[in-house]
Chain A
Amino acid sequence: MSTVFIAFQTNDDTRPIIESILADNPHAVLDEQPAMVKINAEGSLVIKRESIEERIGRRFDLQELQVNLITISGHLDEDDDQFSLTWN
């Protein structure tokens, strides 16, 4: 198994996103760096639209992630409801 990761800028928009990623992926590890948050996870990581919407109280388009996204590693599988990273 190897590690996938995703990194965001740290700001008001990404806080609820990070919170929901950590809630949905108990195996994920948070790495806080200056102005950046990196989330590492063994094998796979999934971001769910629903859990982000729950936290921000409005509809969310997963494409909005891109605004604050710094980098990802892993094979990306994306649809309207989730955004997942895995190594095949």
Chain B
Amino acid sequence: MHIDLRTVAIKPVRQTFDNIARRFGDKPASRYQEGTYDIQQTDIFHYRPLWEPELQLFDTRRTKVEMKDWYALKDPRQFYYGAYTVARARQQEAADSNFEMIEERGLAESIPADLKQIALDVLVPMRHAEWGGNMGNSFISAYGYGTAITQPCLYHAMDHLAVAQYLTHIGLVLNGPEALDTAKEAWMNSALWQPLRRHVENVLVVQDWFEIFVAQNLVLEGLSYPLFYDYLDSEFCANGGTVISMMTRFMAEWAAETSKWVDAQIKVAAAESPENKALISSWVKQYRVSVLEALTPLVHRSFGNKAESVFAEVTDQFNARCTKLGLAI
């Protein structure tokens, strides 16, 4: 008997969902595209929310920023649930192994006392500010519009919890459970923390979700992360506190990664219309004042006599970053 082997190419009837095909053409789409575009419910809502009857459950009017297509605010990291969890699990593993080594070998003993005190005074109470970051980004994912931005904001909110947990862990490693009580006390009552607490609590009651995005993700993170996880980190390393850098590695890495995402959002929203540009610029100007004021005592505590020059450098870099994003500040 004679058998002919041949391959048959079977063309799939459709390559992807119709909504994705309308945007990108009928070709195989990435998981990110399929899990992001046009997922937001747009009509046939059940009833209007009792607490805000003038708006729909999901409504573009919850921010003053206007976009023709809300899906233009896409994530350059292309995070969908799978990609996000895989990326974070990897980082979590690295961070955990750092902490494990530090605890096993008692490396925290080797940190000079003055640096240890700076870490306890400045880093550990930041965990309360991180919780504010979590709340703000959760708010955006609840009331924002378009899966392209609400999805990564939820990831961002979870990441803030992660940072808060790492800061807690640092407190535990450096000074045991007592460190957390001291930090809470400082957050609530110490003069060092009241301006930042005021800023964080003011952002908690902002209703415009894009304004929260600017106040929290661009201004507060854009100024505080370089200060604490870049400049202060170099100080730690230069003076024998490398162990602290090992424990803040995630934050530094995370800030570098997420700032690219934040930049992409601001850039696209500001380029959409002169109104958006003016609005976002005015928010930046408004919150920059309060964030700079909030960080001033912390910068003095962290950097001593170098405070002025470090602060000026970080502020210049932040202003340059905003200008590059097309904002007029």
Contacts and interface: CB of A to CB of B under 8 A. Distances in A.
User: By DSSP majority rule, is chain A's interface helix, strand, loop, or mixed?
Assistant: mixed
Which of the listed residues A34, A56, A57, A58 has the most CB atoms from chain B within 10 Å of its own CB? A57
A81 B30 CA distance: 24
A34 B8 contact: yes
Interface string B15-38: 000000000000010111000000
Contact of A12 (B8, B9, B31): B31
A63 interface: no
A78 to B, nearest CB: 25
A34 B7 CA distance: 7
A12 B78 CA distance: 13
Interface in B225-273: none
- Chain B contact residues: over half helix, strand or loop, or mixed? loop
A68 B8 CA distance: 21
Contacts of A74: none
A43 interface: no
B78 A56 contact: yes
A12 B33 CA distance: 12
Nearest to A10: B28
Interface string B63-93: 0000000000001111000000001000000
A48 interface: no
Question: A interface, how many residues as a size bin?
Answer: under 10
B78 A57 contact: yes
Contacts of B75: 57
Interface in B85-121: 87
A61 to B, nearest CB: 14
Contact of A15 (B8, B28, B76): B28
A12 B7 contact: no
Contacts of A33: 7, 9
Nearest to B87: A58
Contact of B30 (A16, A32, A34, A58): A16
Contacts of A32: 9
Contacts of B7: 33-34
A20 B7 CA distance: 28
B28 to A, nearest CB: 6
B320 to A, nearest CB: 24
Contact of B77 (A12, A34, A58): A58
Interface string A49-76: 0000000111000000000000000000
Nearest to B77: A57
A15 B77 CA distance: 17
Interface string A1-37: 0000000000010011000000000000000111000
Contacts of B87: 58
A15 B30 CA distance: 8
A50 to B, nearest CB: 14
A37 to B, nearest CB: 11
A73 B75 CA distance: 37
Contact of A57 (B9, B28, B76): B76
Contacts of B32: 57
17 contacts: A12-B30, A15-B28, A15-B30, A16-B30, A32-B9, A33-B7, A33-B9, A34-B7, A34-B8, A34-B9, A56-B78, A57-B75, A57-B77, A57-B78, A58-B77, A58-B78, A58-B87
The 10 closest A-B pairs by CB, nearest first: A57-B78, A34-B9, A57-B77, A34-B7, A57-B76, A15-B28, A58-B77, A12-B31, A56-B78, A12-B30
